[in-house]
Homo-oligomer: A and B are copies of this chain.
């Protein structure tokens, strides 16, 4: 599919996951093209998802998070422009206005194809005295480096929010013997899961944190007092938490200001609307990664689920289309996994509450079973929830937690979901069995059998 002898200038705004992928693949497919990444950041092509493990100390050097260095990009003929802020897209003229963050100089840059890969940015509640050096977010690699330095000085850390990143940070802080208070607005942490599952996770976190972690649920922060050594976090319920640092991890929003300003259509979720080829509403402008809206493959509804794995895949699809090929991105299932201690927590497809909200006549089953034969020394439990549609018997989603081998069971369901798998189909699955790897009837099959009985009764 390589098209040679075609000189085209491709500008990519943002270079973390989707942007870096587009650049690398486009240059490979169109060796004669001119490929540039502009980013306001100091770095490109790094693993944001790895930052909690760097902070934890699982490895020493943040440079290990760099997937592809600026040197490597330049050697392959891709031009990297760091600390360059794109301030305007002039789509009628196919030009960008770019500001040099250090010199404050401006320049105009022409493009034949433009890719917006501006990612997402943290939601900062307006109470936050964000100028305090003791209030952190975790989005860029610079954020990660600072947060680790901050953590090393702190004895007590307050985390606002209880999503994936918050829980990964709790793990990192506990590993470093820090006291942690987490404030979560929902009844349990990980509110993207159904409560029967997230309640179990919260129990596990509290029981496996050496007494260092306190979780305040159903509460939000009203203000943060102090700016210097010690902060006071005040909640609406009246807690006052004296703390050495605060991490705001209460969600992200798509970084769409630039696109919106250029007249590019946003979707109902507020992210940039794209078609399956990653094209925006303006010709020759693509968007991919966390700034772009996605389609849920089960409900076909627009969703905004910003994940690194999706960003990579969308980057690939954009690159193929830019390079003259035809490739579609089929959508997402919201598949995700995280670790806390020995526990893996994973989901794919719709949770029961999402399914009900979207009008499905949903039925679910939750079972706990061993991950291996009971007599194997390393046997652990898994808790699995399956959600199905009563009418069609189609599976809608799965959630699994366990110190055993839980997460890959969710992937097994996820491949079924894109094919419209029914509960009956899952019963027919021929899964591998040996005592060190599963029970003779795997938990997936057992859960499907029980769900089938419920559906039939």
- Residues in chain A within 8 A of chain B (CB atoms): 1, 17, 47, 49-50, 53-54, 58-59, 64-65, 164, 168, 297, 307-310, 312-313, 316, 329-339, 344, 346-348, 373-377, 405, 407-416, 418-421, 425-426, 428-438, 440-442, 445, 449, 456
Task: Tell me how far the C-beta of A27 lies from the nearest C-beta in chain B, rounded to whole angstroms.
Answer: 17
- Is B64 a contact of A307 with CB atoms below 8 Å? no
A-B contact pairs, 17 of them (CB 8 A): A49-B373, A49-B433, A53-B435, A59-B376, A309-B431, A309-B440, A335-B432, A336-B432, A337-B438, A338-B434, A347-B432, A405-B405, A410-B432, A411-B442, A413-B415, A415-B415, A416-B419
- Is A377 a contact of B411 with CB atoms below 8 Å? no
- Is A432 a contact of B411 with CB atoms below 8 Å? yes
A47 to B47 alpha-carbon distance, docked (Å): 44
- Is A47 a contact of B435 with CB atoms below 8 Å? yes
- Is A335 a contact of B435 with CB atoms below 8 Å? no
- Is B405 a contact of A440 with CB atoms below 8 Å? no
Q: Which residues of B contact A436 (CB under 8 A)?
A: 53, 339, 344
- Is B50 a contact of A430 with CB atoms below 8 Å? no
With beta carbons under 8 angstroms apart, the residue of B310, B332, B348, B435 that contacts A50 is B435
With beta carbons under 8 angstroms apart, the residue of B168, B316, B441 that contacts A313 is B441
A337 to B436 alpha-carbon distance, docked (Å): 9
- Is A430 a contact of B333 with CB atoms below 8 Å? yes
- Is A375 a contact of B59 with CB atoms below 8 Å? yes
Task: Tell me how far the C-beta of A215 lies from the nearest C-beta in chain B, rounded to whole angstroms.
Answer: 21
Q: With A409-B408, A421-B419 given, is the CB distance from A430 to B53 under 8 Å?
A: no
Q: Which residues of B contact A410 (CB under 8 A)?
A: 432
